[in-house]
C-alpha cells in the first residue's frame, strides 16, 4: 500500500505534449490531483503554450515532459525535438503506443544530451479520466522514483501495485503494455465467439439478457463483459455496428514477439487474423479454395454470380 | 432491481440431491437465506435423509427437488428415479453440467408423469457460497416463477438481471452455461499466452507484478485476472503446477455446436486443443511432421535419442 | 503388385444405384473393364432399369448392389428398400459420403435379412473416370474378397495397395475417407494462404508463374497444386471466382471426431472455420469486437456507414 | 518448353561456395550436365580450391559465383568477401535460405563494385541430385538470362516453367521460397493431424495401409504423402521418431510477412506454433491455465505430482 507524497505532488509542474483523446483527459486528471500541467498540441485549441520550445521555456529545470502523441514518426520527431530543447537533468516520459524496440533508440538519443527517459504503457481509454490509468513503466529506479507523484496521480485509486508497475529497464513498460493488448485481443474474440454462438441458436431467446446475467458470480465476469452489456443495451442486435475491425500495432507486435521467442500463441494470433479477415471484402485465400473445389469436384460452380444467387436465396 | 419476496422464501422447503463441492455449499447458502433444505447424497455423511425416497416422503407436495449430481449416468438415473418417486405437480431443477440436448429427454420423462422441469446452468465454483451463484435457466414461465425464491437466494446480491437469466425454453439454461464455459476457455488461454510471453523475455523483470498491475484501470481486468494474481502470489513461477490440463464437456460441446451452426470459433477451439495437447506425453502429429522432415530434408535426425541429447544440451 | 482376376471380373454383373456425377462415371469405368452394370437413378434418363425392384429382379443371385446416392435420407431410404428387395447372400456396397457412424445401422438392417454390407469411401471426383478411384473399404474379409474384382476395376492402375485399402471392420472405410477429406481441407487452405501472401506483395510479379514453378522438384508439389496451376491458367487473378466456399459433412465430422478423441487439430479446424467465415456477409463476432472497441476506446466509430466510407476510400 | 543451349552450357565454368548437403549435390548435378564447377568449402575435404581468393583467381572473368552457405552471418561474410575479391562484370547467385529482406543489402554492396546479384530460392533437399532442384529467382532480366544455363542444369527435367521461375526483382526469389516453405508447414501439419486421428480410432486397423492407399487417385496425393508412406514403411508406428520438431526461419518469416500485409494465415501459423509447442517440456501457458482452474474450481488439484499419478494411471 502506498501513501502518496502529496506535498511533493502539489509542488509538481510538468509539460505534456499531445492533447488527443488520451492526453487531454490525462491533463485533466493530473490537474485534479494538484499537479500543474502545461499542455501542448499543435492541433488543439486548448494548448497552454504555443510551441514545444515555449513549453520548455516555461518549465523550471529540472523538467519532466510527458509525450503522448501517436506512435511512429510523430513520437520520433517529438523526441528528437526535445533532445535539442531540453537540458541535462531533464526527464522525458514517453506514454504513447510505441513499439518497445523504439525505446532504446529514444533513450540513447536523450541520454547523449544528459536527459533521462522512461517508457510508459498507459491503459484506460476514455474511462481513464474517472477510473484512473493503469501504468506500466520501464527505466531506471532513480527516474521512476522522481516521476512517482505523476504516476500516483494518474493511476487508479487503491494499492499502487494494482494499477502501476515498474516492469524493468527501458522498454519493459511498452513491452508489458504490448502483451496486455495482445491478451485484450484474445479476450474480446472469446466473448465475440460466444456471442455469435448464442445468436446462432433459436434456443436462447434473449442473448443480451444472458450476457448481462454473466455480470456477477460467473467465471467470465470482467470489465470487457460489462462493456458488452452496455453495447447490447444501446443496440441489442448490434445492427448499427459494422464488423469491419481495425487492429493496432500492439496485436501484431505481440505475435511477432511470440514468434521471435518461439512461444505458441494460437489464441492471440487467431484474434488478430479475425480482424484482418473482417476488413476483406473478398478473401483471396477463399477464392483459391473455391477454385480448387471447382477443379476437382465438379462441385456446383461457385463463380461469383452463382454465389450471389445463393446468398440471395438464403436471404429469402 | 428486484425485491426478494422474503416471506414466500422463508416458507420454502426443498430437496437437494447431490452434496458434492457445489451442492454442499448451495445447501448452506440456501439455508442462510432461510430456506429449509433436505439434502441427500449417498456418499456424504451430512445427508439429511437416507434415500431419495425418504427425501420425497419428507417433503410436502407440491415439491421442488434440485438435482446437483455429475452429468451423464448419475443425472440420468436420478431423473429416472424421481420420475417414479415424485407426484404430479412437483418440480425438478437440474443444476448439473449436463449437455443441453439431454434436457429435452429429462423433461419428457418427467412430463409424462405430470412433473415439471427446469434446467439450470450454475456458475461460481467454490466461491459461490460467499459470492452467490450465477444462474441461467430454461423452462416455462410458470415453473421459473415458482422457483424464483430459490434462484434469488442462490444468485449474487445486486440486480437480479446481473446474476440470473431465464434464457428460454427447456435446454436454454444449459446452453447458455455451455457457451459461458466455452468463452471461459478462450479467456484463460488468452491470459496464459500473455503470461508465457512475459516469462519469455528478459526485459520484464517481475512478471507477477506486471500482471497484478493490470488489476485496476486496464482493459483486461477481470475476475480471472484476479485469480491469476492470487495464483502467482502463492507460487510466483508456478513451479508446483503441472501443465497437464483437464477439459470438461462444455468446452467440447461448445465447439461441436459451433460446427453444427457453422459458426467460426478459432479462439475457443484453439484453447480446447491446447488442453488436449497438454495431456500428451508425445504428439503423434509432431512425430509425423518430424518423420517427414527426416525424409525430405536430410535434416539432422530427430530420432528420439538425438532429441533427448538436444534437450539435455539445452538444459545445460 | 496384384494381378486382376480378369476371368472372374468379366463374368461379373452388378447393380449400381445412383448415376450422378460419381455414379455415372463409375458405371462407365466398370463397363470399360468388362463388368456388366445395371444402373438405376430415378432422375437420370440413362437408367438401365426402371426401378430398384426391376434392378434386383434383373440380377442373378447372389447379387452385388453398389449404392452411390447422396448421404443422409436418400442413402437411408435406399438401404431400407434394398433390405426388403434383396435376398440372403446378396451384398450391398455403400459408396456415398455417409458418416461412418451410419454404417453400423445399415449393416445391421441388412444383416437381419442375411444380406452383407461393405462401406466404401471413394475419392477421385470427376477425374476418376480416367485416373481411377481410390477406394477405402470396411467390412468382413469374405465380403471384401468377393467384391475385389469391382474394386480392381475402379481403382487407379498400379499396385493395389496404392489406391485401395481394406481399412478394417464396417465403418472403417468411411472413417478413412472422412480423415482424407479433413486433410484435404488443411492442404487446400495452406496453398490458399500462400497464394494470398504472394498476391499481397509487390515483390512477386507473376504469382501464377511462381506457383507453376513449384510443380516439379519442390516439397509442396501435389495433385492439388497441379489443379491450382490449372485454375490460374484459366483465370490468373481468380477474378471470376467467389470466395463463398461450401463445406461438406466430412470436414465437420473430422473435427467432431478429433474432439471426441481429444486429438488437437488446429489446422483442419482452421480450414473449416475459414469456410464458415467465407459464407458470412457480416460476422456477428466481429460486430461484437467492434462494439467493444467503440465502448472502451473512443476508437473512431466503426458504425456501418463509417466503415463503408473507409472501404470506398480504400477502393479509390 | 525450353531447349537447353547445350553448347553454351558446356563452355560454362562457375564457382560454388558451400559444399554442405545442398551444395555438394548441386556441384555433382552441375558437373553431370557438363558444367565445370570449382567448389570451395573450408570444412570440406573435397574442395577444389583452398580459398575464396583462389577460387576467384582460377575463374576467367566475367565470373559467376554461386553462394550456398548457411543464412545469416556466413552468407553475409561471404558476400562481403566476394564484393572485394570479384571484379566489375562478375555475377553472384545467392542460393541459401536467406530472408528476402537481406537480398537488397547484398545486391547493393555488390553493385557498388559493379558486380551483379541474383537471389535464388532452391527447393529439393537431398532428392535434388536425382530429381533436380526447383528454382525461384529474383534479379534483372540480363543477369537471369546469363545464368540460365546453370538454372537449366539444376532444375528438374520437363518444361522450364514447371521447376523454374524468374519471380521478379531482387528478393522475389527468396520471397517465393519463403512462401513455399510456409505452405510446406501447413501441408505437413494437415497430414500429421490426419495421421494422429487415424491412430486414435480403433476402427482403422492398419493406418500405414490407409495412407498408402491415398497414393493414387485421391485428392490428397502428393510428394509429401509419398514420403509419409516411406516413413511408415520404415517404422509403422513412428516409434523411433521424437515429436521434437525444429523450425527454420522461413516458417517464421512467412507469418511475419503475413502480419505485415494483414493477410490471415491461420493454418500456417497453427503449424508453426505446433512446432514451438513440440519443443517445450512443459508449457508455461498450460501451467497458467491449470493454476487458474485450481483457483476457481476446487478442481482436483493438478499439481505436478498429482498429474504424474494420473499419467501413470492412464498408462496402466
Taking the domains of chain A in order of start, what are their residue ranges? Answer: 6-170, 178-315
Give the pLDDT score at B298. Answer: 61
CA distances from A218 to A89, B120, B121, B181, C48 (A): 51, 14, 11, 10, 65
CA C309 to chain D, closest CA, distance in angstroms equals 20
**Phi, psi at residue B120, to the nearest 5°?**
-140, 115
Which chains neighbour D (Cβ–Cβ under 8 Å, 3 or more pairs)? A, B, C
Give CA–CA dist D90/A37, Å, rounded. Answer: 64
**Closest CA–CA distance from residue B88 to any residue of chain A (Å):** 26
Average pLDDT value for residue range B244-248:
92
The nearest alpha carbon in chain A to B216 belongs to A163
Which residues of chain C are under the pLDDT cut of 50?
1-10, 300-316
Of the partner residues A128, A219, A223, the one whose CB lies closest to the CB of residue B123: A219
Contacts of A186 in chain B (CB under 8 A): 186-187, 189-191, 193-194, 267
Q: Say whether C177 is catalytic.
A: yes
The CB density around residue B173, as the number of other CB atoms within 10 Å, is 33
Q: Which of C102, C184, C250, C257 is catalytic?
A: C184
Q: Does A143 score more than 80 pLDDT?
A: yes
Nearest to C30 by CA among C134, C149, C126: C149
- Is B223 in Cβ contact with A221 (below 8 Å)? yes
> Which pLDDT belongs to residue C11?
61
Nearest CA in chain B to D315: B281
Would you state the pLDDT for residue C248?
A: 87
Instruction: Answer yes or no: do B134 and A196 touch at CB < 8 A.
Output: no
- B156–A217 CB contact, under 8 Å: yes
CA-nearest residue to D129 within chain C is C217
- Under the banding of pLDDT at 50, 70 and 90, the label for residue D182 is very high
For chain B, percent of residues with pLDDT exceeding 90: 88
How much is the mean pLDDT over chain B?
91
- Single out the residue of C276, D292, A123 nearest to residue B187, CA to CA: D292
Contacts of B175 in chain A (CB under 8 A): 198, 201, 203-204
What is the percent of chain A where pLDDT is above 90?
87
With a cut of 60, say whether residue A195 has pLDDT above it: yes
> Does the pLDDT at position A158 exceed 60?
yes
Which cell numbers in the block locate residue A165? Answer: 508497475
Q: Are D168 and C199 in contact (CB under 8 A)?
A: no
Helices then strands, counting H and E runs in chain B, come out as 14, 7
| pLDDT > 70? residue B16 | yes
Q: Which of A2-11, B251-260, C56-65, D289-298 has the lowest mean pLDDT?
A: A2-11
DSSP conformation class of C159: -
Residue in B closest to C264 by C-alpha: B273
The CA-atom distances, in angstroms, between B98 and each of B40, B81, B116, C271 are 19, 17, 17, 30
Query: What is the pLDDT, as a whole number, of residue C3?
Result: 43
Is pLDDT of D298 > 50? yes
The catalytic residue positions of D are 177, 184
Burial class (CB in 10 A: 0-12, 13-18, 19+), C222: buried
- pLDDT score, position C17: 98
Select from A262, A267, A294 the residue whose CB has the most chain D CBs within 10 Å, as the one to mutate to test that interface.
A262
**Does the pLDDT at position A303 exceed 50?**
no
pTM over 0.95: no
* Section A166-181 average pLDDT: 98
A57: distance to nearest CA of chain B, Å?
A: 34
Yes or no: say if A242 and C290 are a contact pair by the CB < 8 Å rule: yes
Residue D306: pLDDT band (50, 70, 90) is very low
CATH architecture for segment(s) D6-170: 3-Layer(aba) Sandwich (3.40)
**Best mutation site among A187, A233, A241 for testing chain C: the one with the most C CBs within 10 Å?**
A241
Q: Please report which confidence band the pLDDT of residue B312 belongs to, taking 50, 70 and 90 as the band edges.
A: very low
Q: Tens digits of per-residue pLDDT, D101-127? A: 999 999 999 999 999 999 999 999 889
Q: Strand, coil or helix: what is C95?
A: coil
The C-alpha cell 527454420 sits at D248
pLDDT at residue D9 greater than cutoff 60: no
Mind listing the pLDDT tens digit for each residue in A70-87? Answer: 999 999 999 999 999 999
Vertex D160: Cα angle to D157 and D162 (nearest 5): 80
Distance of residue A255 Cα from the nearest chain B Cα, in angstroms: 10
Q: Which helix (H) or strand (E) element contains residue A25?
A: helix A21-32
Q: Report the relative pairing of strands C134-138 and C116-123 from DSSP bridges.
A: antiparallel
Distances (CA, A) of A12 to A26, A55, A79, A85, D121: 15, 15, 22, 20, 60
**Pairing relationship of beta strands B64-67 and B91-94 according to DSSP bridges:** parallel
Chains with 3+ CB–CB pairs under 8 A to C are A, B, D
pLDDT at residue A12, as a whole number: 87
Q: Per residue in B72-104, pLDDT tens?
A: 999 999 999 999 999 999 999 999 999 999 999
- Sort out which chain A residues have CB atoms less than 8 A from D247's CB and list them: 262
**A162 vs B216: CA distance, rounded Å:** 6
Q: Which of A219, A265, A272 sits opposite D296 (nearest CB)?
A: A219
- How close D193 comes to chain A (CA, Å)? 16
Which position among C177, C193, C212, C237 bears the catalytic label? C177
Average pLDDT estimate for B125-131: 92
What's the CA gap between A304 and A311, in Å, rounded? 11
Lowest mean pLDDT among A102-111, A289-298, D146-155: A289-298
CATH code for the structural domain at A178-315: 1.10.1040.10
Residue A199: the pLDDT is 97
Chain C residues inside the 8 Å CB shell of B259: 252, 255-256, 272
Taking CB atoms and an 8 Å limit, are A295 and C245 in contact across chains?
no
Phi, psi dihedrals of residue A301, rounded to the nearest 5°: -50, 135
Catalytic, B184? Answer yes
* Banded model confidence at residue A233, pLDDT cuts 50, 70, 90: very high
Locate C1 and state its grid cell.
503388385
Instruction: Report the C-alpha gap between A47 and A68 in whole angstroms.
Output: 14
Q: What is the pLDDT of residue A298?
A: 61
Average pLDDT for D13-38: 96
The Cα angle at residue A117 between residues A116 and A121, in degrees rounded to 5: 160
Per-residue pLDDT, C68? 97
Substitution target from D217, D276, D281 for chain A, most A beta carbons within 10 A: D276
Residue range C145-161, pLDDT digits in tens:
999 999 999 999 999 99
**Using one digit for the tens of pLDDT, what is the confidence trace for A27-81?**
999 999 999 999 999 999 999 999 999 999 999 999 999 999 999 999 999 999 9
Q: CB–CB of B66/B38 below 8 Å?
A: no
Question: What is chain A's mean pLDDT, rounded?
Answer: 91
pLDDT band at A126 (very low <50, low <70, confident <90, very high): confident
- What pLDDT is recorded for position A307? 40
Catalytic choice (B21, B28, B94, B184)? B184
Residue B137 pLDDT > 60: yes
pLDDT-derived band at D299, boundaries 50, 70, 90? low
Chains in contact with chain B (at least 3 beta-carbon pairs closer than 8 A): A, C, D
DSSP chain D: -----HHHHHH-EEEEE--SHHHHHHHHHHHHTT-EEEEE-TT-TT-SSSSHHHHHHHSPSSPEEEE---TTHHHHHHHHHHHHHS-TT-EEEE-S---HHHHHHHHHHHHTTT-EEEEEEEE-GGGHHHH--EEEEES-HHHHHHHHHHHHHHSPSS-GGGTEEEEESTTHHHHHHHHHHHHHHHHHHHHHHHHHHHHH-SS-S-HHHHHHHTTSSSTT-BHHHHHHHHHHHH-TT-TTB-S-----HHHHHHHHHHHHTT---HHHHHHHHHHHHHT-SS-HHHHHHHHHHHHHH-PPP-BHHHHHHHHHHHH-
Pick the more confident residue, A308 or C23. Answer: C23
The reply to whether B178-315 shares the fold of B6-170 is no
Amino acid at each position: 500500500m502506498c501513501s502518496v507524497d502529496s506535498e511533493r505532488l502539489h509542488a509538481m509542474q510538468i509539460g505534456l505534449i499531445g492533447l488527443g483523446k488520451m492526453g487531454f483527459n490525462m491533463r485533466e486528471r493530473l490537474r485534479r490531483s494538484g499537479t500543474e500541467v502545461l499542455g501542448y498540441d499543435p492541433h488543439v485549441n486548448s494548448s497552454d503554450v504555443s510551441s514545444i520550445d515555449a513549453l520548455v521555456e516555461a518549465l523550471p529545470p529540472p523538467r519532466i515532459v510527458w509525450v503522448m502523441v501517436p506512435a511512429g514518426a510523430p513520437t520520433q520527431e517529438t523526441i528528437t525535438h526535445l533532445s535539442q530543447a531540453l537540458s541535462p537533468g531533464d526527464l522525458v516520459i514517453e506514454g504513447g503506443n510505441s513499439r518497445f524496440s523504439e525505446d532504446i533508440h529514444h533513450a540513447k538519443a536523450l541520454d547523449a544530451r544528459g536527459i533521462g527517459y522512461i517508457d510508459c504503457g498507459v491503459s484506460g481509454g476514455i474511462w481513464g479520466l474517472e477510473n484512473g490509468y493503469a501504468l506500466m513503466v520501464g527505466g531506471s529506479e532513480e527516474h521512476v522514483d522522481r516521476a512517482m507523484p505523476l504516476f500516483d496521480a494518474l493511476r487508479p485509486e487503491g494499492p499502487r501495485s494494482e494499477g502501476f508497475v515498474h516492469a524493468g529497464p527501458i522498454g519493459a513498460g511498452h513491452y508489458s503494455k504490448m502483451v496486455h493488448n495482445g491478451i485484450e485481443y484474445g479476450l474480446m474474440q472469446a466473448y465475440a465467439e460466444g456471442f455469435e454462438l448464442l445468436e446462432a441458436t433459436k434456443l436462447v431467446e434473449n442473448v443480451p439478457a444472458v450476457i448481462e446475467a454473466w455480470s456477477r458470480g460467473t467465471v467470465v465476469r470482467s470489465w470487457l463483459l460489462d462493456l458488452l452489456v452496455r453495447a447490447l443495451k444501446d443496440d441489442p442486435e448490434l445492427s448499427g455496428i459494422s464488423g469491419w475491425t481495425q487492429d493496432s500495432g500492439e496485436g501484431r507486435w505481440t505475435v511477432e514477439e511470440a514468434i521471435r521467442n518461439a512461444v505458441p500463441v494460437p489464441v492471440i494470433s487467431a484474434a488478430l487474423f479475425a480482424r484482418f479477415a473482417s476488413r476483406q471484402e473478398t478473401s483471396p485465400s477463399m477464392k483459391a479454395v473455391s477454385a480448387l473445389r471447382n477443379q476437382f469436384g465438379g462441385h456446383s460452380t461457385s463463380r461469383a454470380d452463382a454465389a450471389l444467387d445463393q446468398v440471395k436465396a438464403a436471404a429469402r
